[in-house]
Structure 1
Amino acid sequence: MDRLPSNCILDKGRTGCGATTLAIRQQGNTIITVPYVNLIKSKESQHGDILLGVYEGTGREEILDYAKCHRTHKIMVTYDSLPKVIDALEGNGYDVRNDYQLVIDEWQVILNSYDFRPDAMQGLLKAAGGFKGVIYMTATPVKRKYMPDEMKHLQRVKIKWQDEQKLRLHSVKTTSPARLAAELCEGRTDEYNLHIFVNSVTMISRIIKYAGLKPEDVRTVCSKNRDSMATNQSKLGNAYMIADITDPVKPYNFYTSTAFEGCDIYDGKGLSVIVNDGHIAHSLLPVDTLFFQIAGRLRDSRYRDYVINIFSPTKNTDDVTYEEYVEASEKAFKEAEEYANRMNGNNDGADLAELYTNRRYVRVQDGRMIADRNMLNCDLMKHELQSVIYGNWRNLIDEIIASGIKIVKTEELNPEKPVKESASRKASFKDAFKRYCELKSARTIFPSAEQILIEKNKPLVKTAYDTLGESKVISLKYKVTDIRRELVKASTVTETEKIIRMVRQSLPYRKAIPRKEITEVLQGIYDTLGIHRTAVATDLAK
């Protein structure tokens, strides 16, 4: 395929297949609309030689300067800023609607965001209707019953791949998603970097706090527009500055919805984690769209097709079933239609915008009131997500399987459950170390609460395990003094510093010590470090 088709809905079949790149590189003028600024920044970093990114802050003059300097126009613009591009170009004689192909990328966001960005979504759909050539494309379309009315007349085209994308999922149910995610952070090893996708800056802040993550190890990508940046930065704290999608990856990377779709993240050892909290409605992500999208963000990772999902079910206190909710909503929509027709017929010149403000499904379009079925579909889709899919674990598992995702493991982990005596401060080093070895041998990606408490209450256990290994500690018969000596011996500090550290471990401070005892301790240290020297008490002064 050397050019995208027009006037259709394209199901790309998989994420990261290069369709957006084709839109940028194909012949002819192209305007590509995307939902988020970070997606534009991601593509600008790859195609800055020919691509103009337009979003909040991009002025009319910048658009026109680009148009004059480039023979073929490749403009990537946020949904909200599309009218700005059209007005700037048409105002200077460019026949945008006939000479440019309009590509609406990641169109599933239209429905996912319709309830809180209605003006942008309505404006996008209306503008698209005026283009001679338009294509809606995504790798993860929403269910047909929820598709916007403005798209339903278009032909649907799907790319068939010989090797289908297989996504493997590790599903973890918990009562405390933020705390469990923090435990995952605490148990991270150098074998992988964590990329945690959670649509709540508040939850990101909690995870960072619970895990005690250092600012230099954290990268958070969330909204930076003028309406939200100050609030988001305040939630994170000034030490954890909001990053761009193009900034270097860190051991711990967090993303809100601004980076869920279309962005390219390069990390050869990146591991994706999706966190959903049943108590936070906007953190619940559609399985059939966003799970695949998120897995596709990591372009070159060896874990690209593996995702961990941490979630808690919703607390559905409403006795209304989904079917009853649909019936009631359809009734409300019909009443909205009747109201709109009545007001259009009887309006005596009053401001229509003031008349419909309390009616959810009614809006003004081209000077007339209409009932907006897209808003109804958005409500139905989100109610199904909250009350049915995330209502219980079985429903979520069924939805995951129906979406073509392979579940490789399911488990329930609750961080607040009591732990065994081996994790207490009173436990002996030997008991704690032996239990720690058992827990580590299980090789689970989630450290258990018991393991984390052992590491917290007995830090020497983890240090000895990581540095010396189980066999060496056993050979030392779990003797803490000998273990500390071996750790000093294995360290990378200078020989003199090693001697000083061992002396501090072996001799009391500010207390008179017989010369013979000093000589014996120093000789033992020399022998341990392999220093061929005869110790004398006066060496201590060095």
Structure 2
Amino acid sequence: MFKETIYKTLALGDRFNVAFPDKRIPNGYIDKTKTRIGITYTCFHDDRDSISIIPSVPIIEDALLNYPYLKLFEVKKKVTPEMIAEYLESDVQYKRIVTTPESFGKIISAAISIGKLQRLYETFFLYLDEAHCYASEAFRDDILIPFDYEHDYVYKFENMAMGTATSFQFSDPRIKNLSRYKMIYKEKFGKITIVNNYNPQAVMHQMLTNPDLFPGNVHIFFNSVTMIGQVIKVADISNVNIYCRDDERNMANLQDTSVFFKDRPREGEFQKFNFYSCRYNEGWDLKDDSTATIILLTDVRVPNSLIGIPFKGYQAV
């Protein structure tokens, strides 16, 4: 069992700072219940040295785009431990590092190389965003590096928190022993309509060829780049965007529909129909008006489209 839970009652429009007026993430396990309430924003803007471990690349991309004034230090593929060590020794007042779990080890290596590992543990706040991903995305090579069983990096930080809107009941007793916070809301989040059909793609075709069914833009989460291309081609539509990872394989799978590819979602650039791969199921702000419709499409005949509703599904809608 977790420690006794501290509940924070919020209204739907409230942000993280309503629950924590000091605008500082407390140590512990934070169950947000609702996505995008501003916990990563709070971490980035706090006046202290911090490391944010973020499993979702779009969150990092959004942060770099939206907060250039913070000069976040992104640890990515081409960033070496030597470059990180130089940053750690710089005179930057508040060092703000963002990394994926897979690259976290380079930060540890950098701190060791300059003899400042213990200082890292003592003075940096460590925040693990989208904490459920360490269970729901365990298939990712090296995602568990922060939880290295030999060195226990995560638990050596004096100030550390985990946050998620889709809480996972971890078995690790050290997580269970963290202080636990849970946001609860006065209002319902909204209404979901479930369409159960033996041929989901036929249902999607009906929707794509009858755009007047929807008053605003339509955002469709379907984790199959190949099938996204096929349903667009069969429907013979052009008022569409496709958002997925920009790589050679995806472009080949999209074939002729690759002309509809966009490198990232941007407010004001949406088409009537907008398709997203699983890359965009969580961790970014979809900014559209109240007439927009969100569709989560799964098909038992397309195995990789079958995402877990309590985690990726909940995050998407």
Q: TM-score band (shorter)?
A: 0.7 to 0.9
CA distance in 2, matches of 1:246, 1:92: 41
Asked if 1:231 is matched to 2:255, the reply is no
Task: Tell me the residue number matched to 2:189.
Answer: 166
Partner residue, 1:141? 167
Secondary structure of the corresponding residue to residue 170 of structure 1: coil
- Quote the Cα distance in structure 1 between the aligned partners of 2:261 and 2:39: 33
Give the alignment partner of residue 73 of structure 2, picking from 52, 63, 85: 52
1:81 to 97, 103, 120: 103
Partner of 2:305: 283
Instruction: Give the counterpart letter for 2:296 in structure 1.
Output: I
Deviation track 1:173-211 (CA, whole Å, cap 9, x = no partner) reads 112222322321222248311111122212212221222
Structure 2 counterparts to residues 507-518 of structure 1, below 5 A = none
Taking structure 1 as reference, are residues 92 and 285 closer, same or farther at Cα in structure 2, changes over 3 Å only? same
Q: What percentage of residue pairs aligned between the two structures are identical?
A: 24
Instruction: Name the structure 2 match of 1:196.
Output: 220
Q: Do the aligned partners of 1:12 and 1:159 also contact (CA within 8 Å) in 2?
A: yes
Cα distance in structure 2, aligned partners of 1:39 and 1:131:
23
Equivalent residue number for residue 199 of structure 2:
176
User: Which residue of 2 is the match for residue 249 of structure 1?
Assistant: 270
Using structure 1 for the length normalisation, give the TM-score. 0.48
Over the residues paired in the alignment, what is the CA RMSD in angstroms?
2.4
Shift in CA distance, 221/88, structure 1 to aligned 2, threshold 3 Å: farther
Cα 1:64–1:281 shift into 2, 3 Å: same
| Alignment check: 8 A CA contact 2:102 2:144 kept | no
Which secondary structure state, in structure 1, belongs to the residue aligned with residue 220 of structure 2?
strand
Q: Does the 8 Å CA contact 1:32/1:76 hold for their aligned counterparts? A: yes
Q: Distance in 2 between matches of 1:86 and 1:165?
A: 43
Shift in Å, 1:25: 1.0
Please give the alpha-carbon distance, in whole angstroms, between the structure 2 residues aligned to 1:53 and 1:3.
Answer: 21
Secondary structure of the 2:144 match is: helix
Change (3 A) 1:54 1:255: farther
Distance 2:210 2:235 in 1: 10
Structure 2 equivalent of residue 130 of structure 1: 156
> 1:478 maps to what in 2?
none
Among candidates 253, 257, 266, match of residue 287 of structure 2: 266
Contact 1:222–1:258, Cα closer than 8 Å, also in 2: yes
Q: 1:213 and 1:58 mapped to 2: Cα distance? A: 41
Structural mapping, 1:260-409, within 5 Å? 260-268=281-289, 269-295=291-317
Distance 1:173 1:147, change over 3 A: farther
SS in 2 for 1:49: helix
**Any idea what SS the aligned residue of 1:110 has?**
helix
AA aligned to 2:193 is: H
Aligned-pair distance for 1:17? Answer: 1.1
Cα deviation 1:38-83 (Å, max 9, x = unaligned):
1111122221211233333344565456552631012221111111
Query: Aligned runs of 1:447-526 on 2, under 5 Å?
Result: none
TM-score w.r.t. the length of structure 2 is 0.80
Tell me the residue number matched to 2:120.
96
Question: Could you say what secondary structure the match of 1:24 adopts?
Answer: helix
Cα–Cα, structure 1 residues 220 and 64, in superposed 2: closer, same or farther, change >3 Å? Answer: farther
Q: CA offset at residue 109 of structure 1?
A: 1.3
Total equivalences in the alignment = 283
Contact 2:222 2:277 in 1 (8 A): yes
**What amino acid maps onto 1:183 in structure 2?**
Q
Greater helix percent: which structure? 1
Local SS of the residue matching 1:23: helix
Aligned to 2:6: none
Q: Residue 10 of structure 1: CA displacement?
A: 0.7
| CA distance in 1 between partners of 2:111 and 2:144 (Å) | 21
TM-superposition CA deviations, 1:402-455 (whole Å, max 9, x none): xxxxxxxxxxxxxxxxxxxxxxxxxxxxxxxxxxxxxxxxxxxxxxxxxxxxxx
Uncovered stretches (5+) of structure 1, i.e. residues with no partner:
296-542
Unaligned runs of 5+ residues in structure 2 are 1-19
Q: How does 1:109-128 map to 2 (within 5 A)?
A: 109-114=133-138, 116-117=139-140, 119-126=141-148, 127-128=153-154
Q: Displacement of 1:137 after TM fit?
A: 0.6
